[in-house]
Amino acid sequence: MTTTRERGPRAGLGTRVAARGAAAVVAIVAGAASFEHIASVAIGAGERTWVGYSLPFAIDGLIVVGVAALLEDQRQDRHGRLSARLAILVGVTATLAAKRGQRAAELDRPAGGAGRPGVVPTGG
Protein backbone atom coordinates (compact mmCIF):
# COMPACT_ATOMS: atom_id res chain seq x y z
CA MET A 1 0.00 0.00 0.00
CA THR A 2 1.43 3.32 -0.98
CA THR A 3 0.82 6.41 1.02
CA THR A 4 0.79 9.89 -0.34
CA ARG A 5 2.01 12.82 1.56
CA GLU A 6 -0.83 15.11 2.46
CA ARG A 7 -0.49 18.75 1.68
CA GLY A 8 -1.11 21.01 4.59
CA PRO A 9 -0.36 24.58 5.56
CA ARG A 10 3.34 23.74 5.99
CA ALA A 11 3.73 22.37 2.47
CA GLY A 12 6.36 24.37 0.62
CA LEU A 13 7.49 26.16 3.77
CA GLY A 14 11.15 26.10 2.72
CA THR A 15 10.31 27.63 -0.63
CA ARG A 16 8.22 30.38 0.97
CA VAL A 17 10.94 31.18 3.48
CA ALA A 18 13.62 31.27 0.76
CA ALA A 19 11.50 33.50 -1.48
CA ARG A 20 10.74 35.94 1.33
CA GLY A 21 14.36 35.95 2.45
CA ALA A 22 15.55 36.71 -1.07
CA ALA A 23 12.94 39.46 -1.42
CA ALA A 24 14.07 40.95 1.89
CA VAL A 25 17.72 41.03 0.77
CA VAL A 26 16.78 42.71 -2.52
CA ALA A 27 14.59 45.23 -0.67
CA ILE A 28 17.38 46.10 1.79
CA VAL A 29 19.95 46.61 -0.97
CA ALA A 30 17.53 48.65 -3.10
CA GLY A 31 16.51 50.72 -0.09
CA ALA A 32 20.11 51.46 0.87
CA ALA A 33 21.01 52.47 -2.69
CA SER A 34 17.90 54.63 -2.98
CA PHE A 35 18.65 56.30 0.36
CA GLU A 36 22.19 57.13 -0.77
CA HIS A 37 21.04 58.53 -4.11
CA ILE A 38 18.32 60.75 -2.72
CA ALA A 39 20.34 62.02 0.26
CA SER A 40 23.46 62.79 -1.79
CA VAL A 41 21.50 64.71 -4.42
CA ALA A 42 19.59 66.70 -1.81
CA ILE A 43 22.69 67.58 0.21
CA GLY A 44 24.67 68.29 -2.97
CA ALA A 45 21.90 70.66 -4.06
CA GLY A 46 22.34 72.66 -0.87
CA GLU A 47 19.63 71.21 1.38
CA ARG A 48 20.34 71.13 5.09
CA THR A 49 21.81 67.83 6.21
CA TRP A 50 18.74 66.78 8.21
CA VAL A 51 16.50 67.48 5.22
CA GLY A 52 18.79 65.52 2.92
CA TYR A 53 18.66 62.51 5.22
CA SER A 54 14.88 62.83 5.75
CA LEU A 55 13.88 62.98 2.10
CA PRO A 56 14.67 59.32 1.37
CA PHE A 57 12.22 58.26 4.08
CA ALA A 58 9.50 60.48 2.63
CA ILE A 59 10.08 59.41 -0.97
CA ASP A 60 10.62 55.70 -0.33
CA GLY A 61 7.79 55.86 2.20
CA LEU A 62 5.44 56.68 -0.67
CA ILE A 63 6.39 53.40 -2.31
CA VAL A 64 5.96 51.40 0.91
CA VAL A 65 2.56 52.95 1.69
CA GLY A 66 1.37 52.45 -1.89
CA VAL A 67 2.37 48.78 -1.93
CA ALA A 68 0.78 48.20 1.50
CA ALA A 69 -2.49 49.74 0.27
CA LEU A 70 -2.47 47.59 -2.88
CA LEU A 71 -1.85 44.45 -0.81
CA GLU A 72 -4.72 45.37 1.49
CA ASP A 73 -6.98 45.92 -1.51
CA GLN A 74 -5.95 42.55 -2.92
CA ARG A 75 -6.69 40.76 0.38
CA GLN A 76 -10.16 42.29 0.41
CA ASP A 77 -10.80 41.45 -3.27
CA ARG A 78 -10.98 45.11 -4.25
CA HIS A 79 -9.53 46.80 -7.30
CA GLY A 80 -6.27 48.58 -6.40
CA ARG A 81 -6.74 52.20 -5.41
CA LEU A 82 -5.61 54.87 -7.84
CA SER A 83 -4.02 56.80 -4.96
CA ALA A 84 -1.86 53.77 -4.11
CA ARG A 85 -0.75 53.39 -7.71
CA LEU A 86 0.05 57.10 -7.92
CA ALA A 87 2.05 56.96 -4.66
CA ILE A 88 4.18 54.15 -6.10
CA LEU A 89 4.62 55.97 -9.41
CA VAL A 90 5.67 59.23 -7.73
CA GLY A 91 8.05 57.41 -5.35
CA VAL A 92 9.73 55.41 -8.10
CA THR A 93 9.98 58.47 -10.36
CA ALA A 94 11.58 60.54 -7.59
CA THR A 95 14.03 57.74 -6.79
CA LEU A 96 15.06 57.41 -10.43
CA ALA A 97 15.39 61.19 -10.76
CA ALA A 98 17.69 61.23 -7.73
CA LYS A 99 19.84 58.50 -9.27
CA ARG A 100 20.02 60.46 -12.49
CA GLY A 101 20.90 63.64 -10.57
CA GLN A 102 23.63 61.84 -8.66
CA ARG A 103 25.10 60.48 -11.89
CA ALA A 104 25.01 63.93 -13.52
CA ALA A 105 26.83 65.41 -10.51
CA GLU A 106 29.48 62.69 -10.74
CA LEU A 107 30.05 63.45 -14.43
CA ASP A 108 30.57 67.14 -13.64
CA ARG A 109 33.41 66.41 -11.19
CA PRO A 110 36.99 66.62 -12.39
CA ALA A 111 38.85 63.34 -12.81
CA GLY A 112 40.84 61.98 -9.88
CA GLY A 113 38.30 62.87 -7.23
CA ALA A 114 39.16 66.59 -7.10
CA GLY A 115 36.32 68.56 -5.63
CA ARG A 116 35.03 65.67 -3.56
CA PRO A 117 35.30 66.15 0.18
CA GLY A 118 37.79 63.80 1.78
CA VAL A 119 39.31 62.70 -1.52
CA VAL A 120 42.82 63.78 -2.37
CA PRO A 121 43.79 63.35 -6.02
CA THR A 122 46.92 61.32 -6.52
CA GLY A 123 49.51 62.08 -9.14
CA GLY A 124 50.25 59.72 -11.87
Residue 60's Cα: distance from chain center in Å?
A: 6
Say whether pLDDT at 59 is over 60.
Answer: yes
Work out the average pLDDT over 7-19.
76
Q: CA torsion 105→51→99→41, rounded to 10°? A: 0
d(CA 15, CA 51): 41
Mean of pLDDT over the chain: 82
Using pLDDT thresholds of 50, 70 and 90, give the confidence band for residue 120: very low
pLDDT in tens, 82-112: 999 999 999 999 988 888 877 877 777 655 5
d(CA 81, CA 73): 7
**Structure confidence at residue 100 (pLDDT):** 85
**Structure confidence at residue 104 (pLDDT):** 79
**Structure confidence at residue 13 (pLDDT):** 86
Work out the average pLDDT over 56-65.
92
